[in-house]
Amino acid sequence: MNSKKQKLMILVFMVLTIVIFLLSVGNGAVQMSPVKIIETLLYDKGSTSYQILWNVRIPRTIIAALVGINLSLAGVVLQGIMRNPLASPSTIGVSAGAGLVGLIFLILFPQYYYLAPIGSFLGALGATMLIYGLAWNGGVMPTRMILAGVAVSSLFGAGNNALMTFYPERVSGVLNFMVGGLASITWGDLKLILPYTIICSMILMCLPTRLNILMLGDEVSTGLGLNVEKTRFIFIILSSFLAGSAVSVVGLLGFVGLMVPHITRMLIGSDHKYLLPACILTGSSFVMICDTVSRVIFSPIEVPVGIIISAIGAPFFLYLLRGKGGLSYGHKRK
Amino acid sequence: MDIRGSNIVVQYEGKEALKGVSIEVNKGEIVTIIGPNGSGKSTLVKAICRSIKIDEGEIILEDKNIHSIPTKIIARKLAVLPQVKSVSNDMLVEALVSYGRFPHLGFGKRLSKEDKDIVEWAMEKTGTIGLRDRNVITLSGGERQRAWIAMALAQKTDILVLDEPTTYLDISYQMEVLELVKELNKTLGISIVMVLHDLNQAIRYSDRIYVLKDGLVFDHGDPCEILSKETLKDVFNIQADIYEDLQNKCPYIIPNKIN
């Protein structure tokens, strides 16, 4: 694939993202056309439609987009630096750590429910550092880190299950957090995620060559003058911030961070110069689509978006996997 | 002198892989490291390329300890072709070679005209210019190795280190790679440090050979002199006859049986 094609593809993704944003804002229990949306926002500020748009739909759709951006960027970075197609925010323990601390607040200390987002964010960072420490042996081996992540995740998962077993009556209240939901999003949630999205993605946009070089292997990277340990650490911290802030707002949305990077890589190739901006667009589009479907499909009942993500994502992913003859991924060559 | 390593000790999980190895590489020389499996060849090369930390001793690159030089500066003087490398499915040869310019780029800078010219030059020197738009993974073994060498060449270094550059290649590709290495050494004056398994290739293509055994230098010197029957027996555990290769004017070893 040449760079002209890749640039064109990013342009197409941009247009699609805008269209999907308008569709997502316009659909739900009350339907509005894009023209109606703009009219309402500009000239009809007192109406119920305006209230629905401005206070419910728009913050929710923006946050859906940001969550999509954060999780897919975190996933693409982790898959790159670990040279492992199974790497994702859940693999380095971000989700597990965030989930456990979040649930501790929601179930054990429901009076402090408002601390759950910040708690799960800190849980994400803490778990990442723990796994990084466990995988450290004079340097971090990617495979070791993924295995440590799987082990620690399952330990934290046991903690989650224990909490639910001891407090079954409180489970229904936290269901939205556990399967990932966008139902109760307000403008106030924006400050929990937007700063991380902006800062981390701007830093990442400056580092695509480093990601590309890390894909060539640790020894090649060192030979090219890249400080492998330091670079990998910076990327892990960035992805932990990205994923941690996403989980703190919407709860445990699995799969986005694993799948969107693969789908995008299949579409645009694995040069991070194009892959990173493409992931921003595909990640946000994907979560916005799933959120729209979650509102519309069984309207007026709303399905948690995490369920829709798996239901749409998994078959599409499998379709691409079969079509292209396997995951487009780094192969070890002697 | 380009590289001087003295008394290098490297420990792997309590076991000493290198027990005090000293090695010198002079400007414009081809130095080959040979030795049986587990003798510490790759460890020595990795230590020189700062891929592993050394526990004792020091490695001096052009009068400076390599651990006191920023890694990016080293990458402008010493290029590496490791054994284990990976590329994504859609990596093009030209893109791979252009990563060789990374050590010369400032933060966030793009390739300049000069960088692009050097990438062209590196592909030309290695005969990969016709392969520039090919996917690296679709290349033959020899072509692929040449593409990697082109990347290392684009670093514009005085020293090139190759860890078993011929392993897993068939005989014609092995020659292709070694001839290329020799040509780069002769025409550009690049010092070469490499690990080889084939003793006859080591003799034919090197200016000096280091023989490693059990993490120590068993012997080193002129390839025509140091590989005696006794050395082959002591180090490689084989009984061999040594003939003269009249065409290439060097000894030729034919192993007869295991000791």
pLDDT tens, residue by residue, B102-143: 999 987 778 999 999 999 999 999 999 999 999 999 999 999
Q: Do you know the residue count of chain B?
A: 259
Assign A287 a pLDDT band (cuts: 50, 70, 90): very high
- Reduced 3-state DSSP string for chain A: CCHHHHHHHHHHHHHHHHHHHHHHHHCCCCCCCHHHHHHHHHHCCCCHHHHHHHHHHHHHHHHHHHHHHHHHHHHHHHHHHHCCCCCCCCCCCHHHHHHHHHHHHHHHCHHHHHHHHHHHHHHHHHHHHHHHHHHECCCECHHHHHHHHHHHHHHHHHHHHHHHHHCHHHHHHHHHHHHCCCCCCCHHHHHHHHHHHHHHHHHHHCCHHHHHHHCCCHHHHHHCCCCHHHHHHHHHHHHHHHHHHHHHHHCCCCCHHHHHHHHHHHHHCCCHHHHHHHHHHHHHHHHHHHHHHHHHCCCCCCCCHHHHHHHHHHHHHHHHHHHCCCCCCCEEEC
Average pLDDT over residues B39-65: 93
On whether both B32 and B121 belong to a single domain, the answer is: no
How many H helices and E strands in chain B?
9, 13
Of the two residues A114 and B226, the one the predictor is more confident about is B226
Nearest to A81 by CA among A127, A45, A30, A132: A132
Pairing label, strands B15-25, B56-61: unpaired
Note whether B13 contacts A: Cβ–Cβ < 8 A. Answer: no
Q: Nearest CB to B89: which of A206, A224, A331? A: A331
Question: What's the pLDDT at A41?
Answer: 87
Residues B60 and B177 in one domain: yes
Residue A110 has pLDDT above 90, yes or no: no
What is the CATH architecture assignment of A3-323? Answer: Orthogonal Bundle (1.10)
Lowest mean pLDDT among A19-23, A294-298, B19-23, B193-197: A294-298
Do residues B174 and B258 both lie within one domain?
yes
Please give the mean pLDDT across all residues of chain B: 93
**pLDDT per residue over B185-239, tens digit each?**
999 999 999 999 999 999 999 999 999 999 999 999 999 999 899 999 999 999 9
State whether residue A227 sits within 8 Å of chain B by CB: yes
For the cut 90, the answer to whether the pLDDT of residue A222 exceeds it is yes
CA atoms within 13 A on the CB side of B134: 13
pLDDT at A312 over 90: no
Mean pLDDT, residues A94-122 taken together: 85
User: Which residues on chain A are in Cβ contact (under 8 Å) with B88?
Assistant: 215, 270, 328-331
Q: What's the whole-number mean pLDDT along residues A51-66?
A: 93
Average pLDDT, chain A: 87
* Same domain as B175, residue B256: yes
**Whether residue A280 has pLDDT greater than 70:** yes
From the CA of A328, how many Å to the nearest CA of chain B?
6
Q: Cβ contacts (< 8 Å) between A328 and chain B: which residues?
A: 88-90
- Predicted pLDDT at A1: 66
Picking from B121, B156, B191, the residue at the C-terminal end of a domain is B156
Are A81 and A272 in contact by the 8 Å Cβ rule? The answer is no
Cα separation of A93 and A9, whole Å?
Answer: 33
Phi, psi of A125 (to 5 degrees): -65, -45
Q: Are residues B58 and B130 in the same domain?
A: no
> Phi and psi dihedrals of B61, rounded to 5?
-115, 115
Residues B67 and B186 reside in one and the same domain: yes
A224 contacts B102? CB cut-off 8 A: yes
Residues B141 and B204 in one domain: no
pLDDT-derived band at B28 (thresholds 50, 70, 90) equals: very high
Nearest to A270 among B46, B72, B90 (CB): B90
Query: What range defines the domain where residue B113 resides?
Result: 84-156
Q: Is the pLDDT of residue A325 over 70?
A: no
Mean pLDDT computed over B149-163: 96
User: Do the Cβ atoms of A222 and B88 come within 8 Å?
Assistant: no
Give the integer Cα–Cα distance in Å for A14 and A3.
Answer: 16
Query: Would you tell me which residues 36-95 of chain A have a C-beta closer than 8 angstroms to some C-beta of chain B?
Result: 83
Phi-psi region of B6 (alpha: psi -120 to 50; beta: other; left: phi over 0): beta
Sign, CA torsion A72/A270/A328/A331: negative
Quick one: pLDDT at residue B248?
A: 85
Taking only the tens place, the pLDDT of each residue in A120-167 is 888 888 888 888 888 887 777 888 888 888 888 889 889 988 988 898
pLDDT in tens, B104-113: 998 777 899 9
Give A-chain residues touching B96 at CB under 8 angstroms: 216
Confidence tier at A333 by pLDDT (50, 70, 90): very low
Q: End of a domain among B133, B156, B179?
A: B156
Contacts of A266 in chain B (CB under 8 A): none
| Closest-CA distance of chain B to residue A35, Å | 41
Contacts of B103 in chain A (CB under 8 A): 224-225
pLDDT tens per residue, range A291-308: 999 989 887 788 888 888
Whether residues B191 and B220 fall in one domain: yes
Supply the pLDDT for residue A29. Answer: 78
CB spacing of B99 vs A213 below 8 angstroms:
yes
Weakest-pLDDT range from A9-18, A128-137, B40-49, B77-86: A128-137
Name, in order, each residue with C-beta under 8 angstroms of B253's C-beta and a sequence gap of 6 or more.
Answer: B199, B200, B203, B227, B232, B240, B241, B242, B243
B178 touches chain A (CB under 8 A): no
- How near does any CA of chain A get to the CA of B242, in Å? 32
CATH of the domain at B255: 3.40.50.300
Using CA atoms, how far residue A151 sits from A134, A137, A176, in Å, is 10, 17, 25
List, in sequence order, every residue forming a beta bridge with B212; answer none if it has no partner: B217
Assess whether B186 and B66 both reside in one domain.
yes
**What tens digit of pLDDT does each residue of A191-209 get?**
889 999 999 999 999 999 9
Q: What is the ipTM of this complex?
A: 0.92
DSSP class of residue B53 equals: -
Q: pLDDT confidence of A324, banded at 50, 70, 90?
A: low
Give Dmax (Cα) for chain B. Answer: 59
Give the Cα separation of B224 and B8 in Å (integer).
26
- Selection from B71, B18, B53 nearest residue A137 by Cα: B53
Q: Is the pLDDT of residue A106 over 70?
A: yes
pLDDT at residue A96 is higher than 80: yes
B62 and B164 in a common domain: yes
CB contact, 8 Å: B93 with chain A? Answer: no
Q: Is A155 on the interface with B (CB under 8 A)?
A: no
Residues in B touching A209 (Cβ below 8 Å): 99, 102, 105
Number of domains chain B is built from: 2
Determine which of A6, A136, A213, A216 to mutate to test the interface with B (most B C-beta atoms within 10 Å).
Answer: A216
A229 touches chain B (CB under 8 A): no
Domain end marker among B95, B128, B156:
B156
pLDDT at A330: 44
Of B71, B84, B89, the CB nearest to A332: B84
Cβ of B87 and A219 within 8 Å? no
Q: How far apart are CA A58 and CA A46, in angstroms?
A: 16
- Residues of chain A positioned with their CB less than 8 A from the CB of B152: 223
* B248 in Cβ contact with B221 (< 8 Å): no
Which residues 16-45 of chain B have a CB within 8 Å of chain A? none
Contacts of B83 in chain A (CB under 8 A): 219, 334
Band the pLDDT of A42: cuts 50, 70, 90.
confident
Q: Do B89 and A219 make contact, defined as CB atoms within 8 angstroms?
A: no
> Is the CB of A224 inside 8 Å of chain B's CB atoms?
yes
CB contact under 8 A, B73 and A224: no
User: Are B102 and A209 a contacting pair at CB < 8 A?
Assistant: yes
In the numeric block, which tokens belong to residue A210? 């480093």
Together in a domain, B176 and B256: yes
Do B32 and B124 lie in one domain? The reply is: no
Q: State the Cα–Cα distance between residues A5 and A174, nearest whole angstrom.
A: 45
